[in-house]
Amino acid sequence: MPRVMAISLNRLKASREVESVDLPNCHLIKGIEAGSEDIDILPNGLAFFSAGLKFPGLHSFAPDKPGGILMMDLKEEKPRARELRISRGFDLASFNPHGISTFIDNDDTVYLFVVNHPEFKNTVEIFKFEEAENSLLHLKTVKHELLPSVNDITAVGPAHFYATNDHYFSDPFLKYLETYLNLHWANVVYYSPNEVKVVAEGFDSANGINISPDNKYIYVADVLAHEIHVLEKHPNMNLTQLKVLELDTLVDNLSIDPSSGDIWVGCHPNGQKLFVYDPNNPPSSEVLRIQNILSEKPTVTTVYANNGSVLQGSSVASVYDGKLLIGTLYHRALYCEL
């Protein structure tokens, strides 16, 4: 497919094979069959999953089923994933969720931000989580010319967020050219109701984004450059780059352990297998834990790796109280006791 033809084999790590790193207490999560691209966990142990992402040229195990948001209570003895109801008036048929982020307001209201690609367009949907009803109340759809190809978001207020654009263009052919020419025009945008601005640029393909527990730093994964960028956040919400951590894998979504500040990364060891799907040689999975990213020598540990026999195309890894959730671009999801 064109997307792969446009990307050099080195950027895709096309020759890389993964050596298994197993965790002893893991099982696949029932009810997640067609992707769990992003996961965000509230302090009370409620985990949100973005499920069913579809993209031109990307494999799907449920091409005709709309996406949805699932929830799992990690405080339960045997947690199960349940789909959340979404309020009337929201177009469920075209719901195509990608990156997600939660924000808890001073009055304990929980907001869920969802990158959405209805008919492959780009919006950010803001919902209020109604815990008593296990439902989401749709509040607002955000569209903006500075959000042409949104991948992920990290919420910093009730209608305020940082978002990554994995491409500068929204048009498929121009995206292809941009990738082929390796323009490094992908960026990070700050959005608020009264100000929208580009706050970081020069990425090959900006992907996962998250914020440190002390709210001082923004972390951005550049998937095709195999890097994590550390950016300092300023009072005016602008960002300046502090450092870049280079890795040997395609880094997708970033999750933060709120207790330690460690970064947990869902990675694609071999991007070619991800884009050119072969059931006999499926995409592998890899989870990295990064400790002390601000130090001279951060510690990078491979916590889990699988050749695709169990889990294909890991895109996110999130931890809560000794439990690890691993989501995928279009496959299953794994629940592990650490």
262 labelled as ligand-binding? no
Helix (H, G, I), strand (E, B) or coil at 213: coil
187 labelled as ligand-binding? no
Rounded to an integer, what distance in angstroms lies between the CA atom of residue 325 and that of residue 316? 8
77 labelled as ligand-binding? no
Amino acid, res. 188: V
Q: How many residues comprise the chain?
A: 338
38 labelled as ligand-binding? yes
Show the tokens assigned to 186.
């992908």
What backbone torsions phi and psi does residue 179 show, to the nearest 5 degrees?
A: -70, -45
Helix (H, G, I), strand (E, B) or coil at 186: strand
73 labelled as ligand-binding? no
Show the tokens assigned to 274.
């991800």
252 labelled as ligand-binding? yes
278 labelled as ligand-binding? no
22 labelled as ligand-binding? no
Question: What's the start-to-end Cα distance of the chain, in Å?
Answer: 38
Rounded to an integer, what distance in angstroms lies between the CA atom of residue 251 and that of residue 217? 18
CB proximity list for 279: less than 8 A, separation 6 or greater: none
Q: Is 98 a catalytic residue?
A: yes
CB proximity list for 276: less than 8 A, separation 6 or greater: 1, 4
CB count in 10 Å sphere of residue 253: 31
Catalytic residue among 27, 59, 98, 234: 98
CB proximity list for 158: less than 8 A, separation 6 or greater: 103, 105, 109, 111, 126
| CA proximity to 91, closest of 125, 58, 132, 135 | 125
| Binding region for Ca(2+) | 37-38, 100, 151-152, 207, 252-253
Query: Which positions are catalytic?
Result: 98
